[in-house]
Amino acid sequence: MKILQLNPAFYPAFAYGGTVNVSYNLAKALAKRGHDVTVFTSDTIDKHTRQNDLYVEHEGMKIFYFRNVSNLLAWHRFLLYPGLIRALKKNIQDFDIVHLHGTRNFQNIIAAHYAKKYGIPYVIQPHGSLPLQFGKQNLKKIFDMAWGNKILQNASKCIALTKTESDQYIKMGVPEEKIVIIPNGLDLSQFSNLPERGTFRKKYGISDNKQIILFLGRIHKIKGIDLLIDAYSLVLKDLPHARLVIAGPDDGYLLTIQEQIQRLNLKMAPLITGPLYDRDKLEAYVDADVYVLPSRYEIFGNTILEAWACGTPVIVTDSCAISSVAQHGGFVVKRDPIELATAIKRLLIKESLWEVYSNNGKILVNKEFNLESVVAKIEACYRQVIQMSMVD
């Protein structure tokens, strides 16, 4: 198949969060399975950096980067890259199928328009971006009225990560038969040779008797890091050797949590490392005693899978749509600092419980979230869509 993938930010722009990592691994896996994969994206890498080479062949993919009008606007998720218009108009007919990542963005307006004009089927995958209630509500409503609802209606298939996201589609008027639920998958080959335990501790001067509580992700209000810091202040009263590690790029919330830490006057201040990628990220997971995802809203949570692959139990809030699965490899708690602190202490104190959840997590990620099985489902979705378009 000749596949066009579109994401406003793509490799190596991992500072933009899990969607970049997911779309990158998917495109790479599709290319590895023999498909002709092209990616159209913007040139943003992070708040301050742009991609220099505008065409790159990488891991079997052909990646075209288009200049965005402002990297600062891009960091605030207003990505405009006008060169995409001409490229899609000229080249979209060369592809069998188009895969749109995200929902309310410039690329989808252009891609959906030319896909419909030239009869090229497309699928859309929001990655948790469907709800209106989280930020920029009025702008989202305007976008949906002008373009968003029509983009969903004209999609051949709408990919949902969970039942929760499927329900969100239905609420927006998407017919149930058009929705397919396919979770994110993890490239387990990246976890076949894990770092030696103790590497992260040595690098950051954390002694062996300290128990590490890890958060890894964008430092954004929606991630609920403030809740975790409040819980950590309670954990320290009973477990003074606990150490909270907050790893990830600042997405507008770092100053807020730094002020919170200062206010609480903690005996052991959290370690804030900045973003960790590749081997550095794995070192953190391997040395962590527990991984916590305290989000206010999370449609999936790829970091949960990564923690499990490293043998680290997890604690997630019930605001995460994957919580029904997460309970097999850790705890699911309400968004309450006392309940979260209690769960953290249980995992840090009870070694037998830790081992059960560590093993369960490894088994679950290998069985249910292996990237190979997930990509096979994506392929099947593509083939069905292409066949349907031929009949039409």
Which pLDDT score, from 0 to 100, does residue 319 have? Answer: 85
Task: Tell me the whole-structure pTM to 2 decimals.
Answer: 0.85
For residue 367, which phi and psi values (nearest 5 degrees)?
-85, -45
Q: The tokens 């959906």 sit on which residue?
A: 112
Taking the CA atoms of 144, 45, 161 and 221 in sequence, report the sign of the dihedral they define.
negative
Q: How confident is the model at residue 211 (pLDDT cuts 50, 70, 90)?
A: very high
Tens digits of residue pLDDT in 98-140: 999 999 999 999 999 999 999 999 999 999 888 876 667 888 8
**Which of 19-23, 288-292, 341-345, 386-390 is least confident?**
386-390
Across 51-137, where does the E strand assignment appear? 55-58, 61-66, 97-101, 122-125
Closest CA to 126 of 180, 66, 63, 88: 180
pLDDT of residue 207: 94
Per-residue confidence (pLDDT) for residue 169, from 0 to 100: 95
**pLDDT, position 138:** 85
Question: What is the predicted pLDDT for the residue at 115?
Answer: 97
Cα 34 to Cα 1: distance, rounded to the nearest angstrom: 8
Mean pLDDT of the chain: 93
pLDDT score recorded for residue 51: 96
Asked if pLDDT for residue 378 goes beyond 90, the answer is yes
Q: How sure is the predictor about 392, in pLDDT bands with cuts at 50, 70 and 90?
A: low
Q: Tell me which residue of 291, 293, 242, 298 sits closest to 270, measured CA to CA.
A: 242
What is the reported pLDDT for 321? 76
Relative to beta strand 271-274, strand 242-247 is: parallel
Q: What is the pLDDT of residues 1-30, one digit of tens each?
A: 999 999 999 999 998 988 999 999 999 999
pLDDT value of residue 131: 81
- pLDDT score at 18: 84
Confidence category of residue 239, pLDDT binned at 50, 70, 90: very high
pLDDT (average), residues 152-164 = 94
**pLDDT > 70 in the chain, percent:** 99
Q: Are strands 55-58 and 61-66 parallel, antiparallel or unpaired?
A: antiparallel
* Closest-CA residue to 260 (of 204, 221, 216): 221
* pLDDT (0 to 100) of residue 323: 74
Specify the pLDDT at position 135. Answer: 64
Give the pLDDT confidence score for residue 267 in this predicted structure. 85
pLDDT at 225: 97
Is pLDDT above 70 for 171? Answer: yes
